[in-house]
Amino acid sequence: MKRWAVFMLSAFLAGRGFAYDERPIVPADVSVQVRFQLKSANSNSWSTSTAVLKGSVSESMMVNELSRRFPNREIRILAADCGKDVSSQVRYQFSRDGKSWTSAAIVLTNALTESMMRNQLMQKFPNTQVRILGMNQLR
């Protein structure tokens, strides 16, 4: 229950303009394979890449480390993997026109935070607005 409360609080704060989750999501002593997207200021397209990070335990730390490696780029984290896949069933809504919303569910892998879930969905459905409604971690 406590974990769910932390997730809901981070989801609430993310909806209020806080871009990245700052709580630890991976252990500090492991190397984490991060899948992310980069976009330069003069481009409309995103390129997907991976990097291995050590010591970046929160999503904001991952973005900061990647920003150091790739200056002057917009970065969005898609997934973080520390050796064991985590699958979650995510309920969400998306809208292409900003007026009508469609509800759906999908299984996402290694999306450890709400913003990672949103980023994976925005990668899958470009030019849409996405709202995360809920998630259940699968075993």
Q: Residue 83 region, left (φ>0) first, then alpha (ψ -120 to 50), else beta?
A: left
Higher pLDDT, 40 or 9: 40
pLDDT given at position 24 = 78
Q: How far is it, in rounded angstroms, from Cα 56 to Cα 115?
A: 16
Region 11-23: what's the mean pLDDT?
Answer: 49
What percentage of the chain reaches a pLDDT higher than 90? 63
Token pair in block for residue 35: 């899948």
| C-alpha distance across the termini of the chain, in Å | 17
Token pair in block for residue 11: 């989801």
pLDDT band of residue 121 (cuts 50, 70, 90) is very high
Check pLDDT > 50 for residue 4. Answer: no
Beta-strand relationship, 31-40 and 87-95: unpaired
Tens of pLDDT along 25-71? 888 888 999 999 999 989 989 999 999 999 888 999 999 999 999 99
φ, ψ for residue 92, nearest 5 deg = -150, 170
Give the predicted TM-score (pTM) of the model.
Answer: 0.79
Region 6-19: what's the mean pLDDT?
Answer: 43
Tens of pLDDT along 64-112? 999 999 999 999 999 999 888 999 999 999 999 888 999 999 999 999 9
φ, ψ for residue 62, nearest 5 deg = -65, -45
Question: What single letter denotes the amino acid at residue 77?
Answer: I
pLDDT band of residue 11 (cuts 50, 70, 90) is very low
φ, ψ for residue 100, nearest 5 deg = -100, 140
